[in-house]
Structure formats: structure tokens, C-alpha cells
Amino acid sequence: MDGLVPKRLRDSLGRLTTRWVRPGRGTAPAVRPEAVAPVPAVVDERTGRLAHQVISDSYSAIIAERPNPLRHRFHPSRAETLEADIELLTDRARSDTRLMHDRRAAELVTAARVRAYLEGNHARRARVVSDPVLLNNAHSASFTFTVQHRASGIRARFEDGAENDAHGVPLWTVYSKQHDVPGIGEQGDPDDHDAMEWRGLGIGTRVYEEGARLRPDVRWRNGSPVSAEAQGVRRKLHASDPYRWQGRCDWCEQRGIDWMGAEPSDFADHP
Ligand SMILES: [Zn+2]
């Protein structure tokens, strides 16, 4: 009977009986109000979303005013100014007119929250960008192959253009529209939305360079019209190796260089 206490109950016939019960069982213990820990103010989902949206939009506005606006807003190079950006972004977000009518959302736009936003996003992009693995399905005899960055799913298809330049060197092209290029990763095709997420981080350039490394015996013609990001990649590649990569270029145009008929020596002084 240790630990049990008597309890008077009425049975089914209305007679008083005694049962032995353990104290505290079946009844909630009394709690004094002052003993309860203070509950943090509940942030409803809509308020939290507005605060996040204001921070995100304000950061986009800041990036748009900087050099290289096409570069991803969380490109590793942008993390170099993190501390200054936290201050700048906090001020900018706080002055957003959408917060004037929502005091609770305004209270959420703090330097701590801005720091968490910037640090979290930078860390997420850095994890993906730092993955060095580039997959490919190239075979020595293939007329087409795909190169795909494993972590991001960014990919491009490299194709034999079935044409030679004026000196008999094969011309190939690159297609980088994500939805036209089936993925070759182990987890199946990454969806296009994810691939868009990783644009402007320099991954595309690595994919192109890997394709060129796999076919060192060919030259790369401009493909069909592509996104502004892909055009930027082409310009970079042309500047790094103007003979192998065709690209829109003032220097070549001013000298009347016909890329298809050119030889490596024509680009000796290329900037
Ligand atoms: Zn050029």
C-alpha cells in the first residue's frame, strides 16, 4: 500500500466505496501562474513572411546598385563585405514603407535577423559552389555529351556542329538551357527551379571549361541566343581563350577578325 491514498467514490449503485489511488494520478497538478516561464510573443506566419520579404527585397535593391548585378547575390565574393552589409541592409529594410503599417513585422527586422539571413544564405551557396565534382557522359567517339555540376545540377550539352572552320578544325556548340538538357546525376534530373537558384555563381563557367577540356581538339562556336548569364560566361571564355571560344567582342570586331577563318596567332595581342 506504499504511496497509495484512500479515495471515496460512489459505485454504480450510488454507494460510497473506498479505492486506493496514487496521489497526483488523473488530475493535473496545480500550477501557480508566476511559475510559468514567459511565453515568447507568438509571431504569426504572415508577419514573419513580411519581415523576411522586406529583408530579401532590400538586399536585392542593394545588389542591383552594385557592380556585376548579374553575379549571384550570394556569390562568395559578396560575403567579403558581410559586416558592412548587415548594417546597411538593416537600415535599408527598416525604412521599407511596408513596415510602417505593421509594427510587429517592423520589430522583427533586427540586425540579428539580418545577420542570420545573410550568413545562412551565404553558407548554403558556399556549400554547393565548393563541390568540385563535375559529372560527364562523354565517350571518345560521341558526337554529343553532357557535363553537370554534381551539387547544383547546373549542366550543359556539348555537340558536334558537323562543320569545320576554314582550316579543317571541327566546330562544336554548347547548349545550356537547363530544361533542354536532361540531367545525368545519380539522383535523376535536378529540377529547373533548383538550377536557376545557382546561376551567377561561376558554376556555368566551370561546366563549359570542363567540356572544352574533354574535347581539346575542337573549337567552340556561339550557340543559339542564350540568357544574359550565359552570354557573360561566353564573353569570359572568349577573353580567356579567344581562338577556341567564339564570342561577341569589340576588340575582334574593330580588327575585322573573322573567327571562323582565324588562326591562333591572330589573337596574340587579344586582351
Ligand atoms: Zn575577341
Cα of 60 vs centre of ligand 1, distance in Å, is: 32
Evaluate whether 209 touches 154 at the Cβ level (below 8 Å): no
Give the CB-side neighbour count of residue 47, counting CA atoms within 13 A. 14
Cα of 236 vs centre of ligand 1, distance in Å, is: 10
Spatial CB neighbours of 257, under 8 Å, sequence gap ≥ 6: 266, 267
Top-ranked range on mean pLDDT: pick from 29-33, 36-40, 192-196, 219-223: 219-223
pLDDT value of position 232:
81
Cα of 220 vs centre of ligand 1, distance in Å, is: 13
Cα of 250 vs centre of ligand 1, distance in Å, is: 7
Cα of 211 vs centre of ligand 1, distance in Å, is: 20
pLDDT value of position 268:
94
Q: How far apart are CA 178 and CA 191, in angstroms?
A: 9
Give domain limits for the chain: 45-129, 134-267
Top-ranked range on mean pLDDT: pick from 24-38, 80-94, 143-157, 196-210: 80-94
Backbone angles phi, psi at 151, to 5 degrees: -70, -35
- Reduce the DSSP state of residue 170 to 3 states and report it: strand
pLDDT in tens, 65-111: 998 888 899 999 999 999 999 999 999 999 999 999 999 999 999 99
Q: How far apart are CA 47 and CA 54, in angstroms?
A: 11
pLDDT value of position 229:
72
pLDDT in tens, 48-71: 999 999 999 999 999 999 988 888
Cα of 238 vs centre of ligand 1, distance in Å, is: 6
